[in-house]
Amino acid sequence: MKIASHIEKFERLDAVRRRLDPVADTELWIWTAMTACTHLLNAALHRCGVTEEFDSFHSQVEGQYAIPDRDKGTLSEAQHRPGDLMHVDQPPVERRKPPAVERACTALKIIEDLREAHVRGNQPIADGAAGQWERAYAQCVAELSAALGISVAAAR
């Protein structure tokens, strides 16, 4: 997607995340945080030229995109170079990321890695873990916001 569209998606998802509690709403907090950060990551990767800004959406299959026909309101499938990522390094990118974006990816990976244990699985939340998740989210957003030159008050 275009950079502006990714930022708009991030803002919409972040607004929902603020209504959720990482302990009471564990599954949806994790998923919404991950989805929000992925949009912001895509915006930053497009901005720094690591990936390209296409009017296409990543599908469920790595490296496969849906291309909208805005006039007809339809989608067609295509494979092209990234483009949007589905998750950190999915699909892999060839160009080197700036250090701030690398740090954001490390923070986002912490959130992505919670899916098996706490969204698809039912492992208990360790004491203090939710605070670590919130700090990872805040760091990811702060690094990417700085890379994009936008102001986001994500931490709470």
Quote the CA–CA distance of 34 and 148 in Å, as a whole number: 18
Contact between residue 156 and residue 18 where contact means Cβ atoms under 8 Å apart: yes
Q: Is 35 in the site for other proteins (CB under 8 A)?
A: yes
**Interface size with other proteins, residues (CB under 8 A):** 33
DSSP secondary structure string for all residues of 10-54 = HHHHHHHHTTS-TTTTHHHHHHHHHHHHHHHHHHHHHHTTSS---
Q: Is 130 in the site for other proteins (CB under 8 A)?
A: no
Q: Which residue type is seen at 127? A: D
- Closest contact distance (angstroms) between CB of 42 and other proteins is 9
Ramachandran class of 155: left when φ > 0, alpha when ψ lies in -120 to 50, beta otherwise: beta
* Options 7, 82, 83, 84; binder of other proteins; rule CB under 8 A: 84
Q: Which residues contact 122 (CB under 8 A, 6 or more apart)?
A: none
> Quick one: which segment of 17-25, 103-111, 127-135, 138-146 binds other proteins (CB under 8 A)?
17-25
- Closest contact distance (angstroms) between CB of 32 and other proteins is 5
Q: Is 68 in the site for other proteins (CB under 8 A)?
A: yes
| Nearest residue (CB) to other proteins, 53 versus 84 | 84
Q: Which residues contact 146 (CB under 8 A, 6 or more apart)?
A: 100
| Nearest residue (CB) to other proteins, 19 versus 95 | 19
Q: Is 73 in the site for other proteins (CB under 8 A)?
A: yes
Site residues (CB under 8 A) for other proteins? 1, 5, 8-9, 12-13, 16, 19-20, 24-29, 31-32, 35, 56-60, 66, 68, 73, 75, 84, 86, 119-122
